[in-house]
Structure 1
Amino acid sequence: MSDRPVSVTQPSNFRDLSEHVRRSLPLRSRVLFRSDHLGALTADDARQIQLLGVRRVIDFRGANERLRAACAVPGVQVHSLAIEPAIVQVLSGLLAAGQRPTADEVDHHMQETYRGFVREHSGRFAEFFELLLESDQPTVFHCTAGKDRTGFAAALVLRALGASPEDVLHDYLLTNQRLKPPPGGAWGLAPEVAAVLWGVQPQFLQAAFDAVERDYGDVPTYLREGLGLGEDELRRLRDLYLRT
C-alpha cells in the first residue's frame, strides 16, 4: 500500500495512528486510523478514506449522535460500541438549570468523564479490542470529535502495543492542533470555557490512568483483568499491528 501522506481534510481530526509514535513503536501504517465522526464527509474525502483500504469502522458515539450523522463512507462495516457522551449530558443539565460553568468546572467534569471510561465503560473498550483481534483490516475508530472516547481508545491501543507514555501523550494532544470546533462555539459558553470543552489536556488522560491505577494497580493488570488482554491476546495484537 502506498505511503503517501493521508490527504483527508474533513473530518479534521482524522489521522493514521502510526504517524506520530515511530520513535518508540514500529506500528504498521495504514491499518489503524483515529478520527472525529464520518457523517459530514465531502465526496472526495469519502473516496480518500476508501482508497486507504478502510473496510471496518468502530463508532463509540451514543444513539442520538449516530442518528444525527450516519457514517458517509460507502462499503464499510460499522460496529457501534456506544458510550453516551457524559460531558454533554452534564453540561446540558447545568445550562438547563440556568448555571454557567466556569473553565475550571468543565475541566473537573472532563476528568470525571475520563474516570468513567475506566469505571463504567471498560466493557466497551474490551469489545473494541475483540474487534481489533479479529483481523488487521484497515480500521477507523471514532466518536463525535475524536478526542475523548477515541483518545482513550487510542491511548489503550498504544499502551497495549508498547508505545512510550511520551508518544501516547503526544498523539493524544495532537487533537489540539487538528480538531476544528463547530462554528459559533458551543451552547453560548464563554470562549475560555469552550476552549476547555473542545480541547484535550494532559490531566484528562491522566485522570483515566489514575483510575486504572487505583482500581487495578497498574496498566498491565487493567489490560488483563479489565479488557481481557492476556499474553496470547497481546502477542496476537503485536503480530497484527506491528512491523516485523
Structure 2
Amino acid sequence: MNPEPAPAQNGVDLPHSHLRPGLARDGIVNLRDLGGTPAADGAVIAPRTLIRADALQRCSPASVRALYDHGVRRVLDLRDDAERVESGSFTVVDDLPIDVQHVPVVDPAYVWEIDGVALEQVLAHRYADILGAFGDRFAAAVELVASTDGAAAYHCAVGKDRTGLLTVLLLGALGAPREAIVADYVRSARVNVMQVARLRVLGHPYGAATDADLAVGVWSARASTIESTLDLLDDEHGGAVRYLRDAGVDDEVVASLRHRVLIRPDRTG
C-alpha cells in the first residue's frame, strides 16, 4: 500500500511523509522536502526538487533507496573533509544513479571570533561571518542544485546552520517571501532538542549543550536570528539574488533553478 501523502500546502501535495520514519531510524531527524513553499509570482516549489537534511552519511541502504525513489539524483555534502573522515559520507548502493558532491561551504581553518558577542546574538554574528567569507562556496552549491536533473538533497552535520544558510539563499533566489524563509528555519528548533538528547546518550561532546544553548545559543533556531541574516542580505548585498550574482552565479543559473523547481498550483479545486 502506498503511504498517505503529507498535507497539501498552497495547493501542492507533499508526498514525502513516508521518508521520515525510515531515515529517523538512521538518526536523520532534520529532513524536509521544501515542496509547497511559496515563491515568486504565485508559484510554489514543486515537491521532490529540493530536500534539506542533516547527516545523510548515516543513511542505511534502505534509506538511500527511499531517497532515490523520492526523486533524489544528487546529494550535496556541505561538511568539511575532517567531518567526512570522522563520520563517513553518503554511500550510494546498488549502483543507483545518485551523484554525490562534496561542497564544503565553510573553510575548516575558519576561526569564529565571539568575544564580546551576547549569547543571543552569537548565531547571527556567525552567519554574517560565514556569508561574508564564503560566497564563492555557496555559489558553487547553488550552481550544483540548479543543474540537478531530479531532486537535490543537501546536508551538513545537524541540518541547521550551513544547510540553513544555503536554504535561505535558495529560497531567496526563488522569490520566497520572508515569512516563509523564517518559518522554514525555525522548524529546526524542536529537532535540535532531539539531536542534543541523542548526542548526550552517545557521549558526544555536543551532548553537553546547555538549555541556554538550545534556547538562544548555538543550538537554537530562532526567528530573530534568521531575520538578522535576511536584513544583512538585503542591506549589504541587495538580497539573495544580488549576493549570489556578486559571488559569481550567473542570472541564467537562477533562471534555470526557477524553471526547474517552480510550479503554479492548481487553483481550480
Q: Given the two structures, how large is their TM-score scaled by the length of structure 1?
A: 0.81
Tell me how far 1:219 sits from its aligned partner: 3.9
Aligned amino acid, residue 254 of structure 2:
L
**Contact 1:114–1:207 under 8 Å retained in 2:** no
> What whole-Å deviation, never above 9, does each CA across 1:54-76 have from its counterpart, x for those lacking one?
22111111121111222344243
Write out aligned runs for 1:166-177 (5 A): 166-177=179-190
Residues 222 and 51 of structure 1: CA distance in aligned 2, closer, same or farther (over 3 Å):
same
- Matched with 2:191 is 178
Number of aligned positions between the proteins: 232
Aligned-partner Cα distance in 2 for 1:217–1:27:
23
- Matched with 1:236 is 256
Tell me how far 1:107 sits from its aligned partner: 3.2
Q: Which one of the candidate residues 202, 207, 210 is aligned to 2:231?
A: 210
Q: Which one of the candidate residues 40, 43, 61 is aligned to 2:79?
A: 61
**Contact 2:76–2:154 under 8 Å retained in 1:** yes
**Contact 2:33–2:51 under 8 Å retained in 1:** yes
Aligned-partner Cα distance in 1 for 2:169–2:212:
29
> What whole-Å deviation, never above 9, does each CA across 1:86-118 have from its counterpart, x for those lacking one?
8x9659x99xxxxxx9xx744333222100222
- Matched with 2:219 is 198
Tell me how far 1:143 sits from its aligned partner: 0.7
Aligned-partner Cα distance in 2 for 1:177–1:188:
17
- Matched with 1:17 is 34
Is the partner of 2:101 in helix, strand or coil? strand
Residues 43 and 135 of structure 1: CA distance in aligned 2, closer, same or farther (over 3 Å):
closer
Aligned-partner Cα distance in 2 for 1:47–1:147:
24
- Matched with 1:107 is 120
Is the partner of 1:221 in helix, strand or coil? helix
Q: Which one of the candidate residues 41, 46, 52 is aligned to 1:28?
A: 46
Structure 1: stretches of 5+ with no match in the other structure: 95-100
Q: Which one of the candidate residues 148, 153, 170 is aligned to 1:157?
A: 170
Aligned-partner Cα distance in 1 for 2:167–2:227:
14
Aligned-partner Cα distance in 2 for 1:111–1:193:
14
Is the partner of 1:46 in helix, strand or coil? helix
Aligned-partner Cα distance in 2 for 1:156–1:205:
12
Residues 20 and 239 of structure 1: CA distance in aligned 2, closer, same or farther (over 3 Å):
closer
Is the partner of 1:78 in helix, strand or coil? strand
Aligned-partner Cα distance in 2 for 1:25–1:107:
35
Tell me which moved more, 170-179 or 113-122: 170-179
Is the partner of 1:140 in helix, strand or coil? strand
> What whole-Å deviation, never above 9, does each CA across 1:123-147 have from its counterpart, x for those lacking one?
1111012112323321111111110
- Matched with 1:5 is 16
Aligned amino acid, residue 80 of structure 1:
H
Residues 84 and 235 of structure 1: CA distance in aligned 2, closer, same or farther (over 3 Å):
closer
Is the partner of 1:170 in helix, strand or coil? helix
Aligned-partner Cα distance in 1 for 2:238–2:151:
33
Structure 2: stretches of 5+ with no match in the other structure: 6-13, 265-269
User: Which protein has the bigger strand share?
Assistant: 2
Considering only aligned residues, what root-mean-square deviation do their CA atoms show, in Å? Answer: 3.0
- Matched with 1:97 is none
Higher RCO (CA 8 Å, separation ≥ 6 residues):
1
Tell me how far 1:19 sits from its aligned partner: 4.3
Aligned-partner Cα distance in 2 for 1:106–1:143:
23
